[in-house]
Structure 1
Amino acid sequence: MISVIKKILGKFFPPKPKASDVVWQQRWSDILQKKVAFYRVLNAQDKALFHQRVLLFLETTAIEAGQFEVTEEDALLVAASAIIPVWGFPNWHYFNLKAVYLLPSSFNDQFECGKPDSNISGMVGTGPFTGKMALSRPHLYEGFENSRDKQNVGIHEFVHLVDMADGDCDGFPERLKEFQFSIPWFDLVEKKIEEIDSNKSNIRDYGATNRAEFLAVASEYFFERPRMLQEKHPKLFAALTEFYKQDVMAIAEDVRVRKNSPCPCGSGKKYKRCCLPKE
């Protein structure tokens, strides 16, 4: 097992870590700028804050893999997945997470890859696996490479951790209780699940599994396609905006602007005419 703290942050692993112990590297900014739409639209001051939160997360959370070496990009994408859902909560700390394990592909409930039932791309541990998360490395990358499919397994699993902060993974995080009289959250969730089951929704089918999965799936949608969510599901968008305390419309604007930019593949075509993921 290789700890990302040792590989990326060198020997900085004090009992009470401080983000200032590590000097942020420009190449890390370059990776985030290229890969993470959320980061790309932040102003300079917020990017500096994002850097601090990345360092703190990586100093308090081990990123490990058994079959390959964890890279800087691996670690940064895991950290970005963690920070995006709680960006509106400045003092948030994932006290319920100690380690994230990256696997080379999807896996089963025994963490075996390449088996007929290896269809899991992310999992937050319970029981003996409490405090740990497992992610398929290819799916982690895919979540950031395609910012239009309303899917990001990293964000999905960290939303579960936010949900579990009050002790229960029930789709009703402690913070939502502040709004239980202004937002009839459960009524809204049940209505949206019924729409999914009736094939009357563009929310991913997995969101109808239960309330916890609905929150995670709806949150992926919120962070990847906020403008579409606002148009298709205005009440859900309003509820998630109030919960996460974030203005995510800048992400939608970033995607709109970049559609007309040269494609990063170097073809010379516009991004929208070349490698832009389809709806």
Structure 2
Amino acid sequence: MSYLFIILLAAVLVYIIFFRKKVVKAAEIAGVNYDELLDVHVPFYRFLELNEKNRFEKRVREFFREVRIEGVGTEVTDVDRVLIAASAVIPIFGFPEWKYKNLTNVILYPDTFDGEFQFEGGNRNILGMVGSGYMNGQMLLSRAALVRGFSSAAGKENTAIHEFVHLLDKSDGATDGVPANLQPPAFAAPWLHLMHVEMRRISAGKSDINPYALTNEAEFFAVAAEYFFEKPRQLQQKHPELYASLSSIFGQDPADGGGR
């Protein structure tokens, strides 16, 4: 077999793989009524003004063009895709030019999975994860947690938003709870101080923030962001300083948007 033939064969295979990915992505987004699905399933979108809704839908379409969504052990529905895209858009809605350059695939599992990415067995307790090492560029999500995050039973929690906030945090090279790409360097010290003050209040049982935030600064940031987007008025009332800092970080004021 000649080298020329091998090169031509490799080129054909690359073309087929690339073309198939483009076709699958196009099929995933063709004919979907974004506005209807978003209005039914995403409260954040529902309370936006019309021009902002149009901008949100545009960002959803951009996400579909840039990130592949795959199911493992479950079929990915149009609702699943819209919820994943909405989870990605919500934290970056205040940044019109933002792209998730550190994400290529979202892998959807039917429910919890374990540290070996298995969704069967008795040690499954993971709802979402941003991949690292050989899994860099991947996000893993539980479909059950994804759907619950946008349901009336969600409360202050939204797993998918939590994981996309981790991606934002990670975009500066360190998942440390300090989103250096979103704020000037002078913001870091007061933000860390505020986090540590609130972590002490959680430890003392004097805060309604999920105790999972005590894991480390990165988890505090993601947990607080869930609260910020899910129950903004409640967060603003109970934790005004934290709300103000998160509003500055994300460039958004959801408590003023007529929402929850």
TM-score clears 0.5: yes
Deviation, structure 1 residue 182: 8.9
The 5-angstrom pairing of residues 106-125 of structure 1 reads 106-125=112-131
Is structure 2 residue 246 aligned with structure 1 residue 254? Answer: no
SS at match of 2:108: strand
User: Where does structure 1 differ by over 6 angstroms across 4 or more consecutive aligned residues?
Assistant: none
TM-score between both structures, scaled by the size of structure 2:
0.86
The 5-angstrom pairing of residues 1-279 of structure 1 reads 6=23, 9-10=26-27, 25=32, 27-146=33-152, 149-178=155-184, 180-181=186-187, 184-250=190-256, 253-255=258-260
* Conservation of the 8 A alpha-carbon contact between 1:39 and 1:47: yes
SS at match of 1:254: coil
Task: Give the distance between the partners of 2:22 and 2:233, measured in 1 at CA.
Answer: 37
For residues 60 and 181 of structure 1, do their structure 2 counterparts lie closer, same or farther at Cα, with a shift above 3 Å needed? closer
For residues 177 and 51 of structure 1, do their structure 2 counterparts lie closer, same or farther at Cα, with a shift above 3 Å needed? closer
For residues 187 and 167 of structure 1, do their structure 2 counterparts lie closer, same or farther at Cα, with a shift above 3 Å needed? same
Task: Give the distance between the partners of 2:161 and 2:120, measured in 1 at CA.
Answer: 24
Structure 2 unaligned regions, length at least 5: 1-19
Greater shift after overlay, 127-136 or 110-119?
110-119
Deviation, structure 1 residue 148: 5.4
Once the two structures are superposed, residues 182-214 of structure 1 have per-residue CA deviations (whole angstroms, 9 ceiling, x without a partner) of 971111111111111111110001011000000
* Conservation of the 8 A alpha-carbon contact between 1:37 and 1:147: no
Task: Give the distance between the partners of 1:4 and 1:238, measured in 2 at CA.
Answer: 42
Deviation, structure 1 residue 8: 6.3
Amino acid in structure 1 at the alignment position of 2:230: E
TM-score between both structures, scaled by the size of structure 1:
0.81
Greater shift after overlay, 173-182 or 187-196?
173-182
Greater shift after overlay, 214-223 or 197-206?
197-206
Once the two structures are superposed, residues 87-119 of structure 1 have per-residue CA deviations (whole angstroms, 9 ceiling, x without a partner) of 001100000000000001101111112322200
SS at match of 1:123: strand
Larger Rg: 2
Structure 1 unaligned regions, length at least 5: 12-21, 256-279
